[in-house]
Amino acid sequence: MRSQCIRDLKVWTSHMKRTIQTAEGLGVPYEQWKALNEIDAGVCEEMTYEEIQDHYPEEFALRDQNKYRYRYPKGEVRSESIMFIYYVYAVCVYNMCILCIVMCIQCLNFLA
């Protein structure tokens, strides 16, 4: 990317190792943003979707109804990250490369 001379390029990553490694591979400065991390799934943290469905069937059904507004028990809700992404989208006046989980990118597509 450095050889392409993209003017005013901003690269933002989550704190996830794989996004940081990708940014380092680009050879350009980058900033880490906690808001781009995966959300805290509370009592369901470290569980697969199958395990959540088995142990918390009601929660699984609620999450399935609206992934963007669902809050895991003792966890976070995706819309909190969406507000950050909306802010980025609203004030973005430069070239941006965001390295994060797919859900954040889906939120950007939702806002576009």
Do both 71 and 20 map to the same domain?
no
Q: What is the pLDDT of residues 18-64, one digit of tens each?
A: 888 988 888 888 889 887 788 889 999 999 999 999 999 999 999 99
pLDDT at 46: 92
Number of Cβ within 10 Å of residue 57's Cβ equals 10
**d(C-alpha 79, C-alpha 77), whole Å:** 6
Do both 89 and 69 map to the same domain?
no
- For residue 3, being part of any structural domain is answered with no
Q: What is the pLDDT of residues 74-92, one digit of tens each?
A: 998 876 666 666 666 655 5
SS3 state at 20: helix
How many domains are contained in the chain?
2
Do both 28 and 53 map to the same domain?
no
SS3 state at 17: helix
Q: Which residues of 92-101 are buried (b: 16+ CB within 10 A; e: fewer)?
A: eeeeebbbbb
Higher local confidence (pLDDT), 16 or 108: 16
- For residue 2, being part of any structural domain is answered with no
Do both 49 and 70 map to the same domain?
yes
Range of the domain at 89: 8-39+81-111
Do both 45 and 55 map to the same domain?
yes
Predicted TM-score (pTM) of this structure: 0.56
